[in-house]
Amino acid sequence: MDLSRRRFLQAAVLTAAAAGATAACGGGSGSSGAKDSKNLTLWYWSGGLSDKVVADAKKHFSDISLKTSVVGGDFKTKLLTGLRAAQSAPDITGIKGEDIASFLPNADRFVDLKTVGADKLVPQYLSWKLKQATTQDGKLIGFPIDIGPCATFYREDLFAQAGLPTDPTEVSAQLATWDDYFKAGVELHKAVPKTFLVNNIGSVFTMVVGQGTQRFIDEDGKFIGDQDHIRAAWTTAVKPYTLGIDAKINDNTWNAAISGGTLGTEIGAAWHALDISNAAPGTKGKWRVASLPGGPSNLGGSFLAIPATSGNPEEAFKIISWILGPENQARGFTDAALFPTAPAAYKLPALTGGDAFFGGQKTIEIFGPAAEKIPAAYEAPADAAVSAPFYSELTSIEAKGKDPDEAWKDAVAQAKQIAQRQGVK
Amino acid sequence: MSAGARRGPRRRVAGYWPQYLAISPYYLIFSVFMLFPVLYTVFLAFQKWDGIGDMHFVGFQQFRFLWDDPVFWLSVRNTLVIWVLSTVPMLFMALVLAVLVNSTKRLTAFYRVALFIPSITSLVAIAIFFGAIFSNNFGLINAILRALHLSAVPWMSNEWTIKLVISALMTWQWTGYNAIIYLAGLQAIPSELYEAARMDGAGPVRIFRSITIPLLRPIILFTVVISTVTGLQSFTEPQVLFGSEAATNPNSGGPGQAGLTTLLYFYHQAFDNNDFGYGAAIVWAFFLLILLIVGINWRLVQRKERRS
């Protein structure tokens, strides 16, 4: 076959032009340009928002075409990629609670929600949660979807077998401090030898750190992970290991452990209830919820934010505040176990009803008061990176039987090194 | 005349331009999606960058930190141990399997397909399956051990058994793939050589050592290099087995970081901690290390060839 030079060139140029035109159109149809676009996109991850509430939002804002994408995989990485090019950035996006701190130094990439109407709504939401999304100069970049007030989930039947109290109020009272909790764990393990108190000691460490008002880096950007508050959390975390009531579960066998009765208690956030009921549907009715030993703590809880490139920030915030209004938050709680960030929702029937999985217990009586008393702690952008060695060393204690004091020294040394690289003093 | 000879090759290239144009899409796509990112990471390795904010030039600071980073060296040790534990039995078993399949006359097509299946199965699925089999409290292997009144082994929490499980997974996946390559090599060996050896009274072991191995040497060299490159890149195996163990410290390689391979550490730094500059420094340092190891490997296998 003879392809003439001219025909070939023509074809090549045409193909290239067509490709270029398609690309250009793709870019042009995005939401860049005027700030009153009627086409808005919303990114969240599966379970990040109530799908039912999102579907209703589309109907409620009928003059806007709201396009939602449930983004799978590593959400933060995809969001970072999206934010780099204005055309591909969503107009509204979810940001996970553990990632919000890392976005604060780049607050200019987001709309300050106080400029589009959030300032009026702020008093209705939990102040410690809003603080997580507020920069040091007062810009609010995220509106809170949910929180993770923590509690002790426990197996009522196993507690009864061990002669421990079974009523949530009594359990909360008797297991009020970490030492009381561990003491109960020893009794539980003695009475039911296959049952342990905690799944791993890292989870205890997370809880105790969350109970404090300081984390690993202070507001002046100074590393404080070697100070007493972290050391105390470490000592508390190591105790269940030395007492032999640590199940040492660091792999993906947690599901089996929870359904097989290997774990008598679980310390975790409100949303953890869904994990437990999914992993062990057979134990329905046997679980109860009591207060967390040592005071309230928070784990996770996400935000909705508006990237600075949003086609219509005003309208975008109207959608956000509608989705996250107390009524819809209550629906989100029943639908997707998202614990509301507006205390007004705690009085709504969706939350005050009993939970069949917890034997009809009204779990809001535990979570509600805890949510309002959670201490606000400054979380630096490098907090996760700097805290990583502590968790790794705690698993080393569990896996290799490493001496806890030596593990502490190694954790602090490594954390200091990471802090130095991250520009922390 | 001389001028024409000099211009010759160039004219030949110009004369074949449609063909070069026809193969150009691959090179274009390669440059945009592979070559450019690779070069970009060189640039990134000298910057501090969190993904969306401003970049700050930090010179060799990332590499200096890398040199003193105990976790990086731990990850390199882990990777090397896992690589040796997987590659040695893998290539040995592949060779044995290939000789066995080569010697059968029946069902050869079936054996070939069966050998190839593990390498095209989703690695994530295999990893989940291995995780279930080796699980400490609920795994199949420990259930069998308990049924035989032996004590259960904490496969997923001991620092050595973690590496063993990851290596077993890789061995399982790539043994058949290498066996197919060996099989191709075996079939290229003329059967007269075997007949002649048998006439001279050589037993199967002698035939294997004196004919099969020497003639397969180039193929073995190839598989050693390929296995070195893929084995050192182990990432998905520990990522799936231990990846999401804790929301607070994801991708840290399981208990005691025993399953933390270098690529998993890179992923952790770049994508969990948003430290893209340091991530780039890790992969470049590791790239140089892989080059070194492939070079040593090549020399070792080559020298054996020269000696024999």
- Tell me the pLDDT tens digit for each residue of A370-384: 999 999 899 998 898
pLDDT attached to residue A5: 54
Closest partner CB to A398 (pick from B21, B157, B244): B157
Question: Which long-range contacts link A30-34 to residues 24+ away (Cβ below 8 Å)?
Answer: A30/A86, A30/A87, A30/A88, A31/A87, A31/A91, A31/A309, A31/A310, A31/A311, A31/A312, A32/A86, A32/A87, A32/A309, A32/A311, A33/A311, A34/A311
Please tell me which residue of chain B has the smallest CA distance to A398.
B255
pLDDT attached to residue B225: 85
The CATH architecture one would assign to domain A39-147+300-347 is 3-Layer(aba) Sandwich (3.40)
Please say if the pLDDT value at position A16 is more than 80. no
Chain A residues with CB-CB distance to B162 below 8 A: 399
Chain B touched by A395 (CB under 8 Å): yes
Closest partner CB to A414 (pick from B70, B157, B272): B70
The DSSP secondary-structure symbol of B238 reads: H
Q: CB A256 to CB B138 under 8 A?
A: yes
pLDDT, mean over chain A: 89
pLDDT single digits (tens) B6-21 = 556 666 777 888 888 9
Asked whether the domain spanning A149-212+228-299 has the same topology as the one spanning A39-147+300-347, the reply is: yes
User: At B129, is the pLDDT very low, low, confident or very high (cuts 50, 70, 90)?
Assistant: confident
Q: CB B241 to CB A252 under 8 A?
A: yes
- List, in sequence order, the alpha helices (H) in B135-212: 140-147, 159-187, 191-199, 204-207
Q: What ipTM does this complex have?
A: 0.79
Domain ranges of chain A: 39-147+300-347, 149-212+228-299
Burial class (CB in 10 A: 0-12, 13-18, 19+), A357: buried
* B220, B286 Cβ separation under 8 angstroms: no
Closest partner CB to B278 (pick from A98, A200, A421): A421
* A262, A194 Cβ separation under 8 angstroms: yes
Chain B touched by A404 (CB under 8 Å): no
* B154, A272 Cβ separation under 8 angstroms: no
The superfamily CATH assigns to domain A149-212+228-299 is Periplasmic binding protein-like II (3.40.190.10)
Q: CB B257 to CB A395 under 8 A?
A: yes
Which of A252, A299, A383, A406 is most worth mutating to test chain B (most B CB atoms within 10 A of its CB)?
Answer: A252
Chain B residues with CB-CB distance to A249 below 8 A: 136-137
Q: CB A253 to CB B241 under 8 A?
A: no
Q: CB A253 to CB B135 under 8 A?
A: yes
End-to-end CA separation in angstroms for chain A: 71
pTM greater than 0.80: yes
Whole-angstrom Cα distance, residue B81 to residue A310? 49
pLDDT attached to residue B6: 55
Residue A35 is which amino acid?
K
Please tell me which residue of chain A has the smallest CA distance to B24.
A12
pLDDT single digits (tens) B170-212 = 999 999 999 999 999 998 888 888 889 889 988 888 888 888 8
pLDDT attached to residue B306: 58
pLDDT single digits (tens) A73-104 = 889 889 998 888 777 889 999 999 888 998 99
Note which residues in 51-90 of chain A have CB less than 8 A from chain B: 74, 76-77, 80, 83-84
Residue A190 is which amino acid?
K
Q: Can you say whether the dihedral through the CA atoms of B83, B86, B92, B96 is positive or negative?
A: negative
- List, in sequence order, the alpha helices (H) in B47-188: 61-68, 70-103, 108-120, 123-134, 140-147, 159-187
Q: CB A253 to CB B156 under 8 A?
A: yes
pLDDT attached to residue A249: 84
Please tell me which residue of chain B has the smallest CA distance to A381.
B273
Closest partner CB to A74 (pick from B69, B256, B271): B271
Q: CB A256 to CB B137 under 8 A?
A: yes
Closest partner CB to A256 (pick from B135, B162, B247): B135
Which of the two residues, B121 and A293, has the higher pLDDT score? A293
Please say if the pLDDT value at position B137 is more than 80. no
Please say if the pLDDT value at position B135 is more than 90. no
Please tell me which residue of chain B has the smallest CA distance to A6.
B18
Chain B touched by A300 (CB under 8 Å): yes
pLDDT attached to residue A24: 42
String of DSSP letters for A202-216: HHHHHHHHHTSS--S
Q: CB A400 to CB B256 under 8 A?
A: yes
pLDDT single digits (tens) A125-147 = 999 999 999 998 999 999 999 99
Please say if the pLDDT value at position A32 is more than 50. no
Please tell me which residue of chain B has the smallest CA distance to A262.
B137
Q: What angle do CA A274, A371, A387 make, to 5 degrees?
A: 80
* Percent of all residues in chain B with a pLDDT value above 90, rounded to a whole number: 35
Please tell me which residue of chain A has the smallest CA distance to B276.
A77
pLDDT attached to residue A320: 96
Token readout for A176 is 């009020």
Closest partner CB to A253 (pick from B136, B252, B255): B136
pLDDT single digits (tens) B22-75 = 999 999 999 999 999 999 999 999 998 888 888 889 999 899 989 988 899 999
Minimal CA–CA distance to A145: which of A27, A320, A302, A314? A302
Please say if the pLDDT value at position A33 is more than 60. no
Closest partner CB to A102 (pick from B128, B247, B274): B274
pLDDT attached to residue B9: 66
Chain B touched by A252 (CB under 8 Å): yes
Chain B touched by A6 (CB under 8 Å): no
Q: CB A387 to CB B159 under 8 A?
A: no
pLDDT attached to residue A81: 87
Residue A238 is which amino acid?
V
